[in-house]
Amino acid sequence: MEYPITQDAGLEARDDRLVTDSARTDRPTPDVDVVVVGAGIAGLYLAYRLSRAGHRLRVFEAGDDLGGTWYWNRYPGARVDVPSIDYMYSFDPNWQRDWQWSEKYATQPEILRYLNHIADKHDLRRHITFSTRVRQAGWDDGASLWRVRTDGGDDVSARFVVMATGCLSMPKQAEVDGLESFTGEVYFTSRWPHDPVDFTRKRVAVIGTGSSGVQSIPVIAEEAREVVVFQRTPTFSIPARNGQVSPERLALFAANEADYRSAARMSPGGIPMERSITPTFSVSEAERQQRYERAWGIGELFEAINVYADVLSNPAANHEFAEFFRNKIRAIVDDPQTASDLCPTDYPVATKRPCLDTNYYATYNLPHVRLVNVRKHPIRQITETGIDTAHEAFTFDAIVFATGFDAVTGAITAVDITGRDDAALKDKWADGPQTYLGLTTAGFPNLFLITGPGSPSVLSNMAVSIEQHVDWVLDCLGHLRAHGFAAIEPTAMAEAGWTQHVNDCADITLFPAANSWYMGANVPGKPRVFLPYPAGVDFYRATCDEVVARDYLGFKLSGPEGSMCNDGLVRRLQPDVEMILIQMAAMNLPTLDSMPVDEARAFYAQMSTTRPPGPDVGEIVDGVLPGATGDLAYRLYRPPTPGPHAIVVFFHGGGWVVGDAVSDDPLCRDLCVRSDAIVISADYRHAPEHRFPAAVDDAMAAVRWVADNAEALGGMPGRLAVCGWSAGGNLAAVVSRLTRDAGGPHIVGQVLLTPPTDGDLTRASYVENADGYGLTTALAQWCYDHYIDPADRRDPRFAPLCAGDLSGLPPAIVVTAEFDPLRDEGKAYAAALDAASVPVEHVRARGHTHQSLTMVDVALSGAPVRARIANALRGFFLPTRTPETAA
């Protein structure tokens, strides 16, 4: 069917974005509308939806029959690792009439039977050409269609191509010499024979202890005379506790299946489950152990990973959970050396998909089962009769390879796909895949990827993720058809933004710390890039829906009548910052500027009590110092290392109105530990009781007192820096200049974290970021008005940017946040310092807000920025910067 090209009302309404296209209207009609590659769960659902929507389609499947993963992986013990009842289609609401699952975790034959049942029930086979591999797909720009070639000689043109080729369908090559010389039987779990394999009385080697190995080893061991398992990387595995489908879950279905499925769609992993928000160390050790035991006992993968909110982000939390697993392994496995070899120690738990097993660890207690740790005893080669390691020659009747897949991208790049200008997808992805939403890739119009890189895919219950992708694609095709467009393609900007966002999400987790197939690390030469989208099925779905709701944001839609491009980035905030903002918005808290000052101060203090404390320091001392007109509180943070130390005088944030010496406690601890310097957080008098320049006078007094008492405080005289956040950043900048003019005390460096530097509310950042990012423009104005008269706002003691001469100021690091009303004045001050030849490092914190960089252990994405601050401080304190050597 050629899409009707009509200039409809919707298109006219977007006239401002309509670019007239000289495209021909006599485009050739393609053979079909859609070619689908692959007939697994995704391909079958595509066949169902596409055929019912009236699209002409062809599905090509390399296998001789349907089922994908469940067609190929017939090894003994193969099962799902999410409950069967969750790992099924949801489009078939009356499924219980003609299907029922026999077990909590169905076996491969049962799942394959289910998929065949669905295909037959909905008459899907007629769309599929089996035993046919798609070799090539090339975009013909002139004709605006794909030309698809198969190894069966098919040459088919199609408007769209959908790669439903599977994340785990391209087996990894065996990385061992001599396989061809072995005279016994050789099996690959991913290409298991259709006829039963009998291991009775046989000596069997199993190479690999990932999911397939963990599932197959106990079953093979039940038959074989001898089993030797060759393990490179041990796996974390929990008992599946398989059995009947849970009656509780069946009851949930009976109550309301639609609600159940909808909860799965909006869950973190594609199974109805609340996202844990409890940090590990916020509860007692006894409670934690109980929680871990429950996870171990329940036999559900996603439950286990979800024990605490920070298991995948906090190394200490992860270590404790991993140690729980290791203790279980040590308790089950009798031989201490085997137990030790089975304990994973070189990657955080859950950074590789943990396995669900039945008797895996206990199998190593059987007298005929043995583990060989190939890290200690590498396989040298496969011989005619078995396997040689450096220390031993083994004889086998059969070798089973359970060595995994070239995951997520392997099956896609195995097809010679060329897009616009004959650019090859393989080349484009040479340094790692780039996609928009994991669904599309720039330069390859009308190409869709089901569970492609950059989507939740292998981190989720894939049945749910597949349906979501297929539904999105179908909606998209419907939209194109309804609006007279023939092609859709993401923009380079949207794609780069998404790729960045996926990396940002991964970077705040421990995932990159593992040499996993999620990272492409199992395939020699594959770029090390985190492949799936780790923020969750729920956030991902919301993003895809938002893209559509915002007029296909980030896509270019084109057709003979014209084109439309609503370019932009769907996610610009750091993922954790965005999550915090969402949570804050949901709490619907009153704003500080809506309260009387006393209430605002109490509220601000109250909010500080719920945050994580920040790292331990060596010592904390509370004291008072003489301010300009009376005593002021200070808190000293001493590093755990032996002193004396350099000193940082820190001024807290709070708009000169709220806050005190301890209100930035986690930040000060973090600064202290990272920079190995004493941090003295000095209070100052607040407005409106004490208006400008009271805070400046107090800040100066504090710096003088610290300089005079450096030795007594445990500091090194002459190694004194100032630092401040927000209003405190303003004070640090002001003090740096005033001490220069007063001839001392000597300040070796200034750290200005999101500082106001002239309070000019007309700057663009006050408009762009006026609301929605924590600090609002209205609140900034409230602070200015409490602190200083409009007539004084060009006084350099308020507006360091207005100081005539900035030369000779201490070297500085200025941090500005992208979504901060104050961003542009921080930027302007960094530029002014640079223009005055002051050494300055300007850090633009991408995706951050005014407050987020101070949220230690909450906004983890702020940690690299704080590391740069600490690094700058260490640089300021180098002996070459101190007065004695500077002179």
Ligand X SMILES: Cc1cc2nc3c(=O)[nH]c(=O)nc-3n(C[C@H](O)[C@H](O)[C@H](O)COP(=O)(O)OP(=O)(O)OC[C@H]3O[C@@H](n4cnc5c(N)ncnc54)[C@H](O)[C@@H]3O)c2cc1C
- Residue from 128, 207, 459, 462 binding ligand X (CB under 6 A): 462
Does residue 699 interact with ligand X by CB under 6 A? Answer: no
Does residue 169 interact with ligand X by CB under 6 A? Answer: yes
Q: In angstroms, rounded to a whole number, what is the distance separating the alpha carbons of residues 309 and 832? A: 43
Does residue 164 interact with ligand X by CB under 6 A? Answer: yes
- What six digits make up the tokens of 46? 């595509």
User: Minimum CB separation from ligand X for residue 784, in Å?
Assistant: 54
Q: Which is nearer to ligand X, 130 or 603 (CB)?
A: 130
Binding to ligand X (CB under 6 A) within 212-231 occurs at 212
Q: Which is nearer to ligand X, 38 or 354 (CB)?
A: 38
- Residue from 69, 418, 499, 851 binding ligand X (CB under 6 A): 69
User: Minimum CB separation from ligand X for residue 324, in Å?
Assistant: 23
Residue 91 neighbours by CB under 8 Å, 6+ apart: 45, 48, 49, 467
- What is the greatest pairwise CA distance in the chain? 95
Q: Which is nearer to ligand X, 165 or 499 (CB)?
A: 165
Does residue 82 interact with ligand X by CB under 6 A? Answer: yes
Looking from the CA of 373 toward its CB, the CA atoms found within 13 Å total 12
Residue 184 neighbours by CB under 8 Å, 6+ apart: 385, 386, 396, 397, 398, 399
Can you list the positions of beta strands (E) in 358-435? 369-373, 379-382, 386-389, 393-395, 398-401, 416-418
Binding to ligand X (CB under 6 A) within 87-106 occurs at 87
Q: Which is nearer to ligand X, 428 or 740 (CB)?
A: 428
User: Minimum CB separation from ligand X for residue 327, in Å?
Assistant: 26
Does residue 38 interact with ligand X by CB under 6 A? Answer: yes
Q: Where does this chain touch ligand X (CB under 6 A) — which range of 68-76, 258-266, 539-547, 670-678?
A: 68-76
Q: Where does this chain touch ligand X (CB under 6 A) — which range of 81-89, 279-287, 368-376, 747-755?
A: 81-89
Does residue 745 interact with ligand X by CB under 6 A? Answer: no
- Residue from 50, 57, 134, 476 binding ligand X (CB under 6 A): 134
Provide the CA 633 distance to its chain's centre, in angstroms: 41
Q: Which is nearer to ligand X, 132 or 739 (CB)?
A: 132
Does residue 317 interact with ligand X by CB under 6 A? Answer: no
Does residue 449 interact with ligand X by CB under 6 A? Answer: no
Binding to ligand X (CB under 6 A) within 776-815 occurs at none
User: Minimum CB separation from ligand X for residue 490, in Å?
Assistant: 21
Does residue 166 interact with ligand X by CB under 6 A? Answer: yes
Does residue 156 interact with ligand X by CB under 6 A? Answer: no
The counts of H helices and E strands in the chain are 27, 30
DSSP 186-223: EEEGGG--SSPP--BT-EEEEE--SHHHHHHHHHHHHH
| Binding characters for ligand X, 369-408, by CB under 6 A (x = yes) | ----------------------------------------
User: Minimum CB separation from ligand X for residue 156, in Å?
Assistant: 12
Give the DSSP H or E segment for 318.
helix 315-332
- N-term to C-term CA, the chain: 82
Does residue 62 interact with ligand X by CB under 6 A? Answer: yes
∠189-194-200 over CA atoms, to 5°? 70
Q: Which is nearer to ligand X, 450 or 748 (CB)?
A: 450
Residue 595 vs residues 426, 589, 592, 738: alpha-carbon distances, Å: 58, 11, 6, 34
Cβ pair 184, 385 in contact under 8 A:
yes
Binding to ligand X (CB under 6 A) within 196-215 occurs at 212
Q: Which is nearer to ligand X, 166 or 218 (CB)?
A: 166
> For the packed helices 863-876 and 665-675, what is the interaxial angle rounded to 10 degrees?
50
Can you list the positions of beta strands (E) in 605-714? 619-626, 631-638, 645-651, 678-682
- 565-568 contacts, C-beta under 8 A, 24 or more apart: 565/17, 565/19, 565/491, 566/17, 567/491, 567/493, 567/494, 568/493, 568/494
Q: Which is nearer to ligand X, 206 or 806 (CB)?
A: 206
Does residue 816 interact with ligand X by CB under 6 A? Answer: no
User: Minimum CB separation from ligand X for residue 222, in Å?
Assistant: 19
Q: Which is nearer to ligand X, 134 or 488 (CB)?
A: 134
Does residue 43 interact with ligand X by CB under 6 A? Answer: yes
DSSP 325-380: HHHHHHHH-SSHHHHHHHS--SS-TTSSPPEEESSHHHHTTSTTEEEEETTTS-EE
Q: Which is nearer to ligand X, 471 or 551 (CB)?
A: 471
- Residue from 51, 73, 543, 730 binding ligand X (CB under 6 A): 73
Contact residues for ligand X, defined by CB under 6 A: 37-43, 60-63, 68-69, 71, 73, 78, 80-82, 87, 133-134, 164-169, 212, 411, 415, 450-451, 461-462, 466
